[in-house]
Every structure is written in C-alpha cells, then in structure tokens.
Amino acid sequence: MGRQLRIVHHTGYRYPAGVAASRNEARMTPRTNREQIVLATNLEISPTAWTYGYRDYWGNHVTAFEISAPHDRLQVVATSTVEVGDRPSAGDGISWDEVLAPDLADQLVELLQVAGHIEPPPELWKLAQRIRRDAGTPAQAVHQLVTAIRERVDYVPGSTEVHTRAGQVWEARAGVCQDLVHLGLGALRSIGVPARYVSGYVMPSQDPVVGQPQTGESHAWLQYWDGRWVGVDPTNDTAPGDFHVEIGTGRDYFDIPPLRGVYSGPSESDMFVEVEVTVLA
C-alpha cells in the first residue's frame, strides 16, 4: 500500500428561522476495496440523531438519520483514516468488439444511459463520434475525450451549482469537478463505453508535509470499463493516485451526494462544507 491519509469532513445546514425536524442521508464513509483499506471511520451528528446504516443499490455506505427535536443547525463530521495503494493503470485494455458486446451492455445498462444532467451537447456528441471512429481502442478514446473536455472547460470553483447541466457547462467553458465528470460520462456513454461517477476526496497539495493538515474539498472523478474499472480524473487530466480516497460510485452525482435530506420548517437554509486532509505516512 502507499499513502495513509486522514480526512475530516465537516458539513451541514444552518436554518436561520429554525426547523421542527429533519431526515437526512449521509454518504461520507469511504469503502474498502482493492485500492484502499479503511483503517478507522467515525460519523458524528449534532444534534443527537436516531441513525440507521445500510448499503445502497450501488454498494455505497449510507447513514440515514432523523432529528425529531427543533433545531437551527445540523452538523455532520466524518473522520476517516484510509490507506491508499496503487490503482489499475490504463493500457490498451479491451477491444471495441468487447466493450460493445450485447452481454456487457445488458450487464452495465444503467452505466450506459445518456440522459438528464449528463446528456452531451451536440458539439461534444459529434466530437465523441469522431474520436470513436479514429481511436484504436476504447481506452485511447477515453483519454482523447477527457483531454478534449479539459482543454475546452476550465476548472473554476463556484462557477456552477449542483443542478447545472452538462450542456450549460460546455457552453460556459467553466465548471467544477462534478461538471467535468458529467461531461465525460455523457461523452463516453454516447460511444458505448460504460462509465460511472466516483465521489471522494483528494489531497490538494502534491508535496504535502506529513502530519500537516491541508484544506481540501470533496472531489469527483470517473471510472470506465476496460475489462475492469479504470479511473480518470478529468479535473486534473490524470489517473487517480495515492492521494485520492474513494467514497463510492453511481450513475452520476445525484446517486451519491455527501449529504441530502428533507426538513419541516421555513424554506431558507444555508449549507456549509469544510474538508481537511492530512498525510499520516
């Protein structure tokens, strides 16, 4: 294994007029897989809440909780220590015949759907078809498409909001990591390459000091099917490495938001987020 990272993720809502009760789901617990091992994890909720943990359809860990007493602030603090190792590197991988095989399309049909927020704009759709014709393998097409998206769209924090569609991001030429992933998902699925959204964290510094906390944020990248799931980080135009910590996967952002729910009370609310990442070893 490679790096050992500690992530402290603070998030929640302020309700200026107060609310009577709230019900929520948190997806903030990393999962153990071949590339990472969760050594410790803890979720603190304030005010005190009734909680229930389960795995969702995609295998992500979910903590559902309910606060039945009046409150004007909800805070969730997820603290995790994760050991991250090598991830599968991209190669020539499988052929077009293999990735377009009917059996695979049937197995991964949900990760081939092109609709809603990830639907590519016409210009990107045409670019994807052209790359599909010229690329010798799906892996080559993936990396050409991701590079083209990154060259077109600048990473600009705060330039979009959670419901911004891929087409709007393409026209504006600016977006956040979620938007770049949605553009990539739509483009790849439009040429028959199964792809999924990955939610997680990334160490913001490439040369961090051991034991020194760094201010970070939730991050997103994608994985495409190449005989196995292979990751690509469109924001950084690179492969995820030992500074990436995976929370879970889904069809798009809306399958795995860190925190979502409903509440009883006035409509006004203010969300806050703070992420701290520390290299421990």
Residues 197-251: tens digit of each pLDDT: 999 999 988 889 999 999 988 999 999 999 999 999 999 888 998 899 999 999 9
The CA–CA distances, whole Å, from 160 to 172, 176, 189 equal 10, 7, 23
Percent of the chain with pLDDT over 70: 98
Which amino acid, residue 49? A
Mean pLDDT of 128-156: 96
CB 93 within 8 A of CB 226: yes
- Asked whether the predicted pLDDT for residue 92 surpasses 70, the reply is no
- Asked whether the predicted pLDDT for residue 121 surpasses 90, the reply is yes
pLDDT at site 20: 95
CB 259 within 8 A of CB 253: no
pLDDT at site 8: 98
- This prediction has a pTM of 0.95
Model confidence at 2, pLDDT cuts 50, 70, 90, reads: confident
Per-residue pLDDT of 40-64, as tens digits, reads 999 999 999 999 999 999 999 999 9
CB 276 within 8 A of CB 216: yes
pLDDT at site 88: 67
Question: Would you put residue 184 in left (φ > 0), alpha (ψ -120 to 50) or beta?
Answer: alpha
Model confidence at 90, pLDDT cuts 50, 70, 90, reads: low
Q: Where are the alpha helices (DSSP H) in 85-210?
A: 96-99, 102-107, 122-134, 138-152, 166-172, 177-190
Percent of the chain with pLDDT over 90: 85
Q: How far apart are CA 253 and CA 150, in angstroms?
A: 19
Q: How far apart are CA 215 and CA 160, in angstroms?
A: 21
Model confidence at 259, pLDDT cuts 50, 70, 90, reads: very high
CB 194 within 8 A of CB 138: no
Q: Higher-confidence residue: 91 or 196? A: 196
Assess whether the previous peptide bond of 47 is cis (omega < 30° from 0). yes
